[in-house]
Structure 1
Amino acid sequence: MEKRLLFDRLEEFGDQSAIIWKNRDYSYHRLLSGISEWTEVLKQVEVAAGECVAICGDFSPNATMLMLALMKNGNIIVPLTPSMASKKEKCLKTACVKSLFEFDDSDTYRFKLLHNTDDHSLLQALRKTGDPGLIIFSSGSTGEMKAALHNLQKLLSKYQRKRRSFKTLAFLLFDHIGGINTLLYSLFNGGTLVIMTGSDRTVELICETIEQYRVNLLPTTPTFIKMLAISEMHKQYDLSSLQLITYGTEPMHPATLEFVTRIFPQVRFKQTYGLTETGILPTKSMASESLGIKMGCEDCDIKVERGVLHVRSDTVMMGYLNASAPIDKDGWYNTGDIVEPMGDGYFRILGRESEIINVAGEKVFPAEIENVILKMNNIKDVTVQGLPNPVTGNVVVATVELEEPEDADQLERRVRDFCEQRLPPFMIPAVVEISSRRLYGERFKKTRRS
């Protein structure tokens, strides 16, 4: 039903602009004709329904049309990006991939048939339904990358009801559940997806793209929002077309949110929530300037146990292909996110359970300390982590990126003095380090040492 609905919608939107790539417009009719062409290619290279097929590239027109053709053909899709090159072979083996399509910067593809004889019981179970599938790899930032298998038909079900269409920047990447969500939302609602090319996604280039194409929806990360505010690029580029900025993937610092709602008064800020394992869940923000979030609907249940958020929904993955999944017998998925109730069904996400620092029995959330340090002068960015200590279990370490050079000893005294006036003793950084590198990765998400 949902798969048919998507292709009916593509037909309905006709000559409207679906994708802008390298200054070229691709209409919905062009997408449909491209899907038909790719369906013929799949027949020629003998890709059978139910097979795992990897696409290595980005949201280029051909990669997008191939993804939709594979969906129509009932395949299990494995999106990968060039940045995963060092892990690609392992990912292909883990996902039991039989065929690989690799796209270059000109959107030309190379096909490779893989002699992978591995299979998995979860893949077999999905094939029995006849539904298309999706395998997304977790970032692996705190350990081994995990391969999450989704029933794609169930992920598509959330887009049945028509919603508002936007001209959206494809900020989140091709291999990210948020990037897939961006694509599907846009296609189901007749929107236009503006695709950036190249791997160098700087704040300036993103602002330039927003100005050039009059983008009105930016799905992004708290780290990017912070870097946008610090760079003051909003003063150099016309970003007045922006109507909605959605953010997720990591906790937002209150100081950052307070600042950007002042400099973008015309923009509504909405916090989203989703994981590789759950898909993107329906949410409601308490207000643009609030970190309060409410989630859940008739198809999505939530509960909080011992401060940890649990989710039960049809969009939760079937399981991992290379690890055991934290899903109980009743279908509840343990997200590992610590939340704080705010009343009336709203709560605030404090951070990952795995990132809590235990200092002499006290729980320390890195984001709380980071939010304080970010209010200091000459601090461009900060990451807080724990360092093992034989007496207290751990001590707090703050790694900072400076706007201007500063003596390390002076900085440490200044940070400690500032924090002592605003935080309890166990949260005061025992060590302050200066980093010469930026503290976030290519996806504009804060990087923490594992």
Structure 2
Amino acid sequence: MNVEGFLDGMAKHGPADALVVEGVSYSYLELVNEIEEAWRIRDVRPGSVVALVGGFDLLTISSLFALWRRDCIVVPMLTLDENRCGIAEVEYLVVDGKVASFSPLPSGGEGSGVREPKHFLYEQLQGPGLVLFTSGSTGTPKAAVHDVTRWFVKLDRPGRRQRTLTFLSFDHIGGLNTLLYAFANGGCLVCPSDRSPATVWNAIADHNVELLPTTPTFLRLSLLDGQIQSGESLKLIAYGSEPMPQATLDAAKAALPNVEFLQQYGMSELGVLRSRSREDGSTWVRLGGSEFDVRVVEGLLEVRADTAMVGYLNAPSPFTQDGWLRTGDEAEQDGEWLRIRGRRSETINVGGEKVHPAEVESHLESLPGVAQALVRGEANPILGQVVVASVSLTTGESTEAFRARMRAELKGKLPRYAIPQRIEPLQHEVTNRGKKIRNPSPLG
């Protein structure tokens, strides 16, 4: 399947709902007509690199497909970022369906159809492209180049037709996967005005949402705010982007007993892999499918996938010589089942003992009065590193008082070296992608 074949499939759904944007519904017929209109007016040279600024709305989504029809390389952005435009060698901006040149036109001239010399990775694309920046929650964002043709091949396989909420953002691999999967199967995207718990859960109830792709952090915030609603429409919550604390999963399942929970694994570099949880409520997952393979090498997950990126624009290649992508995620293996422990770069080494921040955070967030916790390592001249926790408390107690209570309550639950040695107030909680922010400095 290619872009044209994908759009032909969308057109067959005619009057069915394709989008609900802030309460306004648009049919597949309206969406396809908007794409066709954008196709006619799009004043962009084929093969150009285009920054598409916007979110899940009719104009931005229409522009995305119109640009792909011209074999353009699209760089989705929520807001204009000139530094990222420079890294991606952007030539045009598209905002609200309007085109502007970001830099002078190449010498090939308008409509020449000849791609001017750019990054060598762009020359490897077989058709339209996509540049996704990693979240940067653990370092400098990397620019991953994708061949979109590979994605459409994966979508040429029937799936479930569902009403899906767009929680993950338009510039996120999970957000784009949500969009393409929904449209490939005649589903409807429900696009809320913001990602606050109240707005999201109200949209689920008001628009009969069946599938919520989200993050563990959002589920925890929803539980704390008392916003989770056990409506009749919601059937599946697919979570990913970060490790899921077992306490959060247990609480969410108790609040939504009739909803299935599915752990997903995806990366900006890979796309979203097909997955199956060992059992409902388990953090063990099986990753499998005809389009990819997985293996664990020296405790690190490696993936070989048809939908993997071509490479990074601004970083060395993470691929092995035989084509496996080194994810950087530590994983436990039990036969065909995997449990993702977190990024190796985030692992804290205390006197030779490894500490996984997500596991410590899970224990901290199980304590009364802890709204959010963020754990990191801090250099220590004797032990190499010690564990430091930033916490958001609802009890009003001082960090000193909480530290004493924490040490007493975690004794016997965590090894002594894994219990935080220092507590500080939490300054930053989540990224605009719903993930915890991990910074090397206290206030980061």
TM-score normalised by the shorter chain: which range applies?
Answer: over 0.9
CA drift at 1:443: 2.3
Q: Is 1:369 the equivalent of 2:360?
A: yes
CA drift at 1:239: 3.0
Q: Is 1:76 the equivalent of 2:95?
A: no
Instruction: Tell me the residue number matched to 2:86.
Output: 93
Distance in 1 between residues matched to 2:288 and 2:47, nearest whole Å: 31
Distance in 2 between residues matched to 1:10 and 1:111, nearest whole Å: 25
Instruction: Tell me the residue number matched to 2:52.
Output: 55
* RMSD, aligned CA: 1.4
CA drift at 1:48: 2.2
SS at match of 1:363: strand
CA contact (8 A) 1:35 1:69 kept: yes
CA drift at 1:96: 1.4
Distance in 2 between residues matched to 1:151 and 1:442, nearest whole Å: 25
1:269-296 Cα deviation digits (max 9, x unpaired): 0011110001111111112210011112
Instruction: Tell me the residue number matched to 2:109.
Output: none
Distance in 2 between residues matched to 1:183 and 1:283, nearest whole Å: 18
CA contact (8 A) 1:248 1:272 kept: yes
SS at match of 1:322: coil
Distance in 2 between residues matched to 1:381 and 1:363, nearest whole Å: 22
SS at match of 1:13: coil
CA drift at 1:423: 1.3
CA contact (8 A) 2:372 2:393 kept: yes
Of 85, 91, 101, which residue of structure 2 is paired with 1:113? Answer: 101
1:122-142 Cα deviation digits (max 9, x unpaired): 11221xx2x111110111222
SS at match of 2:12: helix
Distance in 1 between residues matched to 2:330 and 2:205, nearest whole Å: 37
TM-score if structure 2 supplies the norm length?
0.94
Instruction: Tell me the residue number matched to 1:448.
Output: 438
Output the amino acid matched with 1:115. S
Q: Is 1:398 the equivalent of 2:389?
A: yes
CA contact (8 A) 1:401 1:438 kept: no
CA drift at 1:428: 1.6
1:327-361 Cα deviation digits (max 9, x unpaired): 12211100000001133x00110000100000001
SS at match of 1:194: strand
- Whose helix fraction is larger, Structure 1's or Structure 2's? 1
User: 4-13 or 287-296, which moves further after superposition?
Assistant: 4-13
Of 341, 349, 352, which residue of structure 1 is paired with 2:340? Answer: 349
Q: Is 1:228 the equivalent of 2:228?
A: no
Identity among equivalent pairs (%): 38
CA contact (8 A) 1:2 1:160 kept: no
CA contact (8 A) 2:137 2:436 kept: no
CA contact (8 A) 2:296 2:333 kept: no
SS at match of 2:174: helix
CA drift at 1:266: 0.7
Q: Is 1:217 the equivalent of 2:211?
A: yes
Distance in 2 between residues matched to 1:179 and 1:69, nearest whole Å: 18
Output the amino acid matched with 1:172. L
Output the amino acid matched with 1:140. G
CA drift at 1:211: 1.5
CA contact (8 A) 1:292 1:347 kept: yes
Stretches of structure 2 lacking an aligned partner (at least 5 in a row): 107-116
CA contact (8 A) 1:341 1:348 kept: yes
Instruction: Tell me the residue number matched to 1:106.
Output: none
1:304-330 Cα deviation digits (max 9, x unpaired): 100000011111100011111211221
TM-score if structure 1 supplies the norm length?
0.92
Q: How does 1:371-386 map to 2 (within 5 A)?
A: 371-386=362-377
SS at match of 2:170: coil
Q: Is 1:258 the equivalent of 2:282?
A: no
CA contact (8 A) 1:374 1:382 kept: yes
Distance in 1 between residues matched to 2:98 and 2:192, nearest whole Å: 21
Instruction: Tell me the residue number matched to 1:309.
Output: 301
Distance in 2 between residues matched to 1:158 and 1:399, nearest whole Å: 41
Distance in 2 between residues matched to 1:439 and 1:416, nearest whole Å: 23
Aligned residues: 429
Q: How does 1:231-250 map to 2 (within 5 A)?
A: 231-234=225-228, 237=229, 239-250=231-242
Q: Is 1:268 the equivalent of 2:276?
A: no
Of 139, 142, 166, which residue of structure 2 is paired with 1:146? Answer: 142
Instruction: Tell me the residue number matched to 2:189.
Output: 193
CA drift at 1:110: 3.7
Output the amino acid matched with 1:161. R
CA contact (8 A) 1:207 1:239 kept: no
Call closer, same or farther: CA 1:221–1:418 in 2, change over 3 Å: same
CA contact (8 A) 2:53 2:76 kept: yes
Of 95, 104, 112, which residue of structure 2 is paired with 1:102? Answer: 95
CA contact (8 A) 1:169 1:210 kept: yes
CA contact (8 A) 2:230 2:256 kept: no
Instruction: Tell me the residue number matched to 2:61.
Output: 64
Distance in 1 between residues matched to 2:63 and 2:430, nearest whole Å: 31
Instruction: Tell me the residue number matched to 2:399.
Output: 408
Distance in 2 between residues matched to 1:297 and 1:443, nearest whole Å: 26
Q: How does 1:25-36 map to 2 (within 5 A)?
A: 25-36=25-36
Q: Is 1:339 the equivalent of 2:331?
A: yes
Distance in 1 between residues matched to 2:290 and 2:24, nearest whole Å: 40
Instruction: Tell me the residue number matched to 1:16.
Output: 16
